[in-house]
């Protein structure tokens, strides 16, 4: 069996989960990551190259002679990282820039769904803040959702309870440029109610293989209060995703989306993320992502029994229909530990204690915002760690995860106490 050297682009908790899964493959040779983090550095050689440095990643991949590059974060994909690697003759996993627009532009995604009859919330698109405010006021329906068109680190959607909140959201996104150019256009969307869940899927542009379902916890505080974050924890599978619902989603959402992208000349290869609301009249797409979610990857990948390198090869080569992907029947829970102040301003550089006290076959600490300084692992981001545990039941997995969290200490550590209470 020939070994494959793999280069993972990114440096968060998602990338740590990907690197760990790759390291478990008997086909895995050398592992590299850019920029990586202190946890990834235990499994892979980390390179001082930013994920968004297109030329730097290409140069590093060529110099290392790797067999494949796994492009994990959203920004590099939207910038055309995969296109650049492929043009350089380097084998790479992920969607092209044209395909990644399904995440990079909510306007594109909503228009795609409308054109191809994929169920989603009713919406309007605006490039003028005054027109947007006038529309919201005239419609008079609250709550209403205001979304920045482009990438916003998972924080670009604001639920407004009344006109004043909606007007502030429009001003923040479009006039104050809270999310930069991502706010040049906005989507004003109908507010949906019902259980929210995520299904990730591998696809080679024709075949779609859904992964085990997951459920994210976006708000920073218990009880789903406070501002949105990149995610404060997740569980897999979601108890709301029944076999009947899975069949309906596959028929009405998963396959039609991939077929729509192919019809548009934007063949999607890689991992696609379906964030859905289970409304009274059925499942509806809230948004797409063009890669593994974070922290969803930290609960989905530990449950995957298949060899990730085999899956990557099948996706790239367009033969995903030839392999079988099986899943662990247990439940996974991930609790994210964040810096004080996150998702707003926070300080870095605090030593992290107790990491070596968390061990065991069914529990793992994924590093997100960490770095090594003077031989110590310190905080280096908003979301610092993700403690993931597996259990026969959701209750058991929760207990294990929180037992792990209790052993880890750093100044200002914040985490939700209700992850997995569904």
Whether 154 has a pLDDT exceeding 90, the answer reads: no
Taking CA 21 as the corner, what is the angle to CA 19 and CA 27, rounded to the nearest 5 degrees?
95
- Give me the numbers of helices (H) and strands (E) for the chain, helices first please: 13, 22
Name the residue with tokens 């760690």. Answer: 385
Domains of the chain (ranges plus CATH)?
4-94 (3.40.50.20), 122-190 (3.30.1490.20), 196-322 (3.30.470.20), 331-406 (3.90.600.10)
**Average pLDDT over every residue of 246-271:** 98
Whether 422 has a pLDDT exceeding 80, the answer reads: no
Q: Measuring CA to CA, how many Å separate 202 from each of 181, 235, 296, 311?
A: 30, 19, 14, 8
Whether 2 has a pLDDT exceeding 90, the answer reads: no
Q: Please, what is the average pLDDT of the chain? A: 96
3-class state of residue 274 by DSSP: strand
pLDDT at 421: 87
Q: Is the separation of the CB atoms in 284 and 120 below 8 Å?
A: yes
Whether 194 has a pLDDT exceeding 90, the answer reads: yes
pLDDT digits (tens, 9 = 90+) for 353-406: 999 999 888 999 999 999 999 999 999 999 999 999 999 999 999 999 999 999
pLDDT at 386: 98
pTM, full prediction? 0.95
**Average pLDDT over every residue of 177-194:** 93
Question: What is the torsional sign of CA 206, 269, 275, 21?
Answer: positive
Q: How confident is the model at residue 62 (pLDDT cuts 50, 70, 90)?
A: very high
- Alpha carbon 137 to chain centroid distance? 33
pLDDT at 362: 94
Whether 153 has a pLDDT exceeding 80, the answer reads: no
- Percent of the chain scored above 90 by pLDDT? 93
pLDDT digits (tens, 9 = 90+) for 291-348: 999 999 999 999 999 999 999 999 999 999 999 999 999 999 999 999 999 999 999 9
Q: What's the rounded Cα separation, in Å, for the pair 190 and 142?
A: 9
With residues binned 3-state (H G I as helix, E B as strand, rest as coil), the percentages for the chain, rounded to 5, are 35, 30, 40
400 backbone dihedrals φ, ψ, rounded to 5°? -65, -45
Whether 274 has a pLDDT exceeding 90, the answer reads: yes
């Amino acid at each position: 069996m020939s070994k494959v050297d793999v280069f993972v682009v990114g440096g968060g908790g998602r990338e740590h989960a990907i690197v760990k899964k790759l390291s478990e493959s008997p086909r895995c040779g050398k592992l590299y990551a850019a920029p990586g983090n202190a946890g990834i550095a235990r499994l892979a050689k980390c390179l001082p190259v930013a994920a968004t440095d297109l030329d730097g990643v290409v140069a590093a991949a060529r110099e290392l002679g790797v067999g494949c590059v796994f492009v994990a974060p959203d920004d590099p994909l939207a910038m055309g990282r995969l296109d650049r690697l492929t043009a350089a003759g380097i084998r790479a996993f992920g969607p092209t820039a044209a395909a990644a627009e399904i995440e990079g532009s909510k306007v594109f995604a909503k228009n795609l769904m409308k054109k191809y009859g994929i169920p989603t919330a009713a919406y309007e698109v605006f490039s003028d803040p005054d027109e947007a405010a006038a529309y919201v006021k005239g419609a008079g329906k609250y709550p209403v959702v205001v979304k920045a068109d482009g990438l916003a680190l998972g924080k670009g959607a604001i639920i407004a309870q009344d006109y004043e909140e909606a007007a502030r959201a429009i001003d923040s996104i479009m006039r104050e440029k809270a999310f930069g150019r991502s706010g040049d256009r906005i989507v004003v969307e109908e507010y949906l109610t019902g259980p929210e869940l995520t299904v990730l899927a591998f696809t080679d542009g024709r075949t779609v293989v859904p992964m085990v379902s997951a459920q994210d916890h976006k708000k920073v505080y218990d009880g789903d209060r406070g501002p949105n974050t990149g995610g404060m924890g997740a569980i897999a599978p979601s108890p709301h995703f029944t076999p009947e619902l899975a069949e309906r989603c596959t028929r009405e959402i998963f396959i039609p989306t991939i077929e729509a992208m192919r019809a548009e000349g934007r063949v999607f290869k890689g991992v696609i993320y379906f964030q859905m609301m289970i409304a009274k009249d059925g499942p509806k797409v809230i948004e797409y992502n063009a890669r593994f979610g974070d922290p969803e990857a930290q609960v989905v990948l530990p449950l995957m029994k298949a060899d990730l390198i085999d899956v990557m090869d099948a996706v790239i080569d367009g033969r995903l229909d030839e392999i079988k992907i099986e899943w662990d029947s247990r439940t996974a829970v991930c609790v994210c530990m964040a810096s004080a102040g996150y998702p707003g301003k926070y300080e870095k550089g605090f030593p992290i204690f107790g990491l070596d006290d968390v061990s065991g076959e069914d529990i793992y600490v994924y590093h997100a915002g960490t770095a090594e300084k003077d031989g110590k692992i310190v905080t280096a981001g908003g979301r610092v760690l993700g403690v993931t545990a597996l259990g026969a039941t959701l209750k058991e997995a929760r207990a294990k995860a929180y037992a792990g969290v209790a052993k880890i200490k750093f100044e200002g550590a914040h985490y939700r106490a209700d992850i997995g209470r569904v």
